[in-house]
Structure 1
Amino acid sequence: MRNVTVENITEVFAEYFGKDTDPRTREVLVAMARHMHDFAREVNLTHDEWRKGLAMLEHAGRITTPERNEFVLFSDVLGMSSLVDMMHSDPAATSSSVLGPFHVSNPPPLEMGGDMKRDFGGPVLLVEGQVLGTDGKAIPHAKIDIWQTAPNGMYSSQDPDQDINSFHGLMTADETGHFRFTTVRPVEYTVPSDGPVGELLDAAGRHPWRPSHLHYIVTAPGYRSLVTEIFPDDDPYLDQDTVFGVRDDLVMTYHTKPSSEFPAGMALSGKVNEPFLYVKFDVILLAE
Structure 2
Amino acid sequence: MHYVTSKTLLSSNNGMNLYRGCTHGCIYCDSRSECYNMNHDFEDIEVKQNSAELLKKELLKRPKSMVGTGSMTDPYIPIEKNLKYVRKSLEMIYRYGFGFTCITKSDLVLRDLDLLEKINERSKAVVQMTLTTADDDLCSILEPNVCVTSRRVEVLKTLSEAGIPTVVWLCPILPYINDSHENINGILDFCIESGVHGIICFGMGLTLREGNREYFYKKLDENFPGLREKYVEKFGDSYTVSSPNNRELMKIFKKRTDEKGILNDNDEIFRYLHNFPQDSVQTKLI
Rg larger in structure = 1
Q: TM-score, normalised by structure 2?
A: 0.24
Q: Which has the higher strand share?
A: 1
Q: TM-score, normalised by structure 1?
A: 0.24
Q: Which has the higher helix share?
A: 2
